[in-house]
Amino acid sequence: MRWNWQLPDWPHFQFEKIRLRDAETQFLKGAGIVVGAMQHLDKDASQQLVVQMISQEMVESSAIEGEVLDRASVQSSIARQLGFAADRRRSTPAEAGAAELMADLYRHYASPLTDQSLFDWHAMLMNGRRDLDVIGGYRTHAEAMQIISGPLHEPHIHFEAPSSQSVPSEMTQFIGWFNRTAPYGTDPLPAIERAAIAHLWFETIHPFEDGNGRIGRAIAEKALAQSLEAPTLTALAATINTHKKVYYLELHRASETNRIEGWMVWFSQIVLEAQSRTLQTIRFLIEKTRLLDRLRGKLNIRQEKALLRMLAEGPDGFQGGLSAQNYRSITGATSATATRDLAELVTLGALNRTGENRYARYSLLIGQHRP
């Protein structure tokens, strides 16, 4: 099989630009809506949003690769990195390194991409690792860089990247293109087009021993942020993770040709979905603030604890809704007290109840009419 980088037209990707035109317009329009919605957040809520969104991106990006990071630890690390108030929760080296990368991306999104900036990201991401030959540098091993699955005696090769020897020259070409196509460059490209190509191109080169997926998605976020001339809060990795199987399938298809309409259209849909998720999160924070303001002084300690726990789950809320048993577990209340507390929360317009008796479930009343 000949991979895309082995074809004569590499890396001259071809696609019909008109197929992305509507998505590009919608993305720019959505960006304006996001900015407008954020103006309704106070300073604390804005900081909370930044920490929540960028920590979610790294947690979800790591999850795509099968690595589980503690969300609270990553959030705490990012808050400290950005100079926001934070608890002193201990983080693992992987969590601390992931937080450092995302904070650096947020702060320095406008900076040109360089070999050194990528080396720094890799060193952050591989914090604490002892099993790699090169950390903070491109791979140098002589054996082929392959993405495989299946048993060792009969592996299935999903993709083979260019040789380690060719990585420096491949990256020089990629980085030159990335900076040239930025808004400040000599040949600027639309936001989604540039992010989609950047991610595919970087993943094809696969320049590091490990961490290519996470760094590649960070590069796509950087491209989107530069196009908007603001640190983007697009939930890109979180959205990709919900479509992980299709993501890998589309990457594989695009790795076999430089005619990439399929990849470009799919990626554009993911970006728009991610932007919609971001707007949903912002609106949730606005409604959360309004709800807590309205209920101030009306809740007992148990009710407040349970409500804050539900709000911490974000727009999606508890899977299947909050049950009386969940409430007792969170608050330590007796059955009778839980029933009374939950009924009061419904009366106060904080929760909505569906079902009866032990099948009763409670969901947040956010964004709906309240008494």
Lowest mean pLDDT segment, chosen from 35-44, 80-89, 300-309: 80-89
4-283: CATH number: 1.10.3290.10
Return all residues near 36 (Cβ < 8 A) that are at least 6 apart: none
- Between CA 95 and CA 119 the distance in angstroms is 18
Give the max Cα distance, the chain.
74
pLDDT band for position 140 (50/70/90)?
A: very high
What CA–CA distances, in Å, run from 244 to 61, 149, 151, 206, 240?
A: 10, 16, 22, 18, 6
Q: E strands within 11-155? A: 146-149
Work out the percent of the chain whose per-residue pLDDT is above 90: 67
Query: Can you tell me the mean pLDDT for 188-196?
Result: 98
CATH class of 300-364: mainly alpha
pLDDT band for position 1 (50/70/90)?
A: low
Domain boundaries, the chain: 4-283, 300-364
The answer to whether 324 and 343 are in contact (CB under 8 A) is no
Q: What is the pLDDT of residue 85?
A: 65
Lowest mean pLDDT segment, chosen from 12-21, 139-148, 163-172, 206-215: 139-148
